[in-house]
Amino acid sequence: MLTLQADYTTSQLDVLEAEAIHIMREVAAEFERPCLLFSGGKDSIVMLRIAEKAFWPAPIPFPLMHVDTGHNFDEVIEFRDRRAAELGARLVVASVQASIDAGRVVEETGRRASRNRLQTTTLLDAIEEHGFDAVFGGARRDEEKARAKERVFSFRDDFGQWDPKNQRPELWNLYNAKIRKGEHIRVFPLSNWTELDIWDYIRREGIEIPSIYYAHKRRVFERDGMLLADSPVVQRGEDEPVFEAVVRYRTVGDMTCTGAVQSTAATVEEIIAEIAATRITERGATRADDRASEAAMEDRKREGYF
């Protein structure tokens, strides 16, 4: 006996997933050498799952790339390497330390020194070295104002810079992939997702994520209202005592500027409930480098950081 489906309504997650899959297939068809930025963070993990679905049962047809500051969390780097190996994907690691050693960038000094901004040069050098003409990123428009005005296909000139006057119109799901030699496109398949969408998708798909996203005990110290990890790579002042707290990370990146939040959320369901109730944005709560004016964030994007 034939059973008819009672409800043909497409869920919010299905719509977002379908849009992201379409974007990835469009890039694979239009560009010669795309790559996917994969740090081992939750957004890039979701993006990687979507890439799996977009091309299954074939392997993902482009390499993964991570710009490694050398100051990343061990749990995330372990996950990054293991996940790439499980998929049999080629992983390109662009090293900020190598850029420093080569004299391409100068390391900051002082208590607030960070390698986060130095990633721009390392990223652009890697794009040029490998000839990548499209780079998938996990940025979402809900993160902050500079990203809220971003296109899905973000045009970058031959210096890797973003210029709002050179961005192309995007009508419905039609994307302009035309570029000249030396130029490239940053592609953001998760543009219309929110932090809550990401976690709902992780729950629905049963996706593994690094343990650092769940509540755990960690030695931290407070700076500017944020909890930073006690680590040899993070310079701490005498007025910044270390204490142990139960924390988790809403986002992960360079240890010198990524803060933890006090939380007891130890499951995906508890994290979703916590995020649904919070009124502080993900990056506003946890990224010291993003506590800047909108104009400052625009300047960083023009330099090629995003």
Say yes or no to pLDDT of 143 above 90: no
Confidence of residue 228 (pLDDT cuts 50, 70, 90): very high
Quote the pLDDT of residue 171. 87
Domains of the chain, CATH where assigned = 12-198+295-303 (3.40.50.620), 209-291 (no CATH)
Closest CA to 252 of 64, 72, 50, 65: 72
Minimum mean pLDDT range among 18-22, 130-134, 213-217, 221-225? 221-225
CB atoms within 10 A of CB 155: 19
Confidence of residue 36 (pLDDT cuts 50, 70, 90): very high
Vertex 122: Cα angle to 53 and 180 (nearest 5): 70
Quote the pLDDT of residue 165. 82
Quote the pLDDT of residue 93. 96
Say yes or no to pLDDT of 4 above 80: no
Say yes or no to pLDDT of 136 above 80: yes
Quote the pLDDT of residue 145. 72
Minimum mean pLDDT range among 127-136, 159-168, 180-189? 159-168
- Return the percentage of the chain with pLDDT > 90, whole number: 69
Confidence of residue 6 (pLDDT cuts 50, 70, 90): low
Q: What is the average per-residue pLDDT within 116-120?
A: 90
Quote the pLDDT of residue 71. 93
Q: What is the average per-residue pLDDT within 119-133?
A: 95
Q: What is the average per-residue pLDDT within 149-177?
A: 88
b/e sequence 111-132, b meaning 16+ C-beta within 10 Å: eeebbbbbbbbbbbbbbeeeeb
Say yes or no to pLDDT of 285 above 60: no
CB 298 within 8 A of CB 266: no
CB 122 within 8 A of CB 96: yes
Any bridge partners for residue 68, and if so which?
95
For the whole model, what pTM was predicted?
Answer: 0.89
Distance between CA atoms of 29 and 231, rounded to whole angstroms?
44
Minimum mean pLDDT range among 214-218, 232-236, 285-289? 285-289
Quote the pLDDT of residue 55. 96
Work out whether strand 134-136 and strand 34-37 pair parallel, antiparallel, or are unpaired: parallel
Say yes or no to pLDDT of 288 above 60: no
Per-residue model confidence as pLDDT tens digits over 252-268 = 989 988 999 999 999 99
Confidence of residue 225 (pLDDT cuts 50, 70, 90): confident
Quote the pLDDT of residue 44. 96
Quote the pLDDT of residue 274. 94
Q: Is the dihedral of CA 55, 58, 63, 66 positive or negative?
A: positive
Per-residue model confidence as pLDDT tens digits over 48-101 = 999 999 999 999 999 999 999 999 999 999 999 999 999 999 999 999 999 999
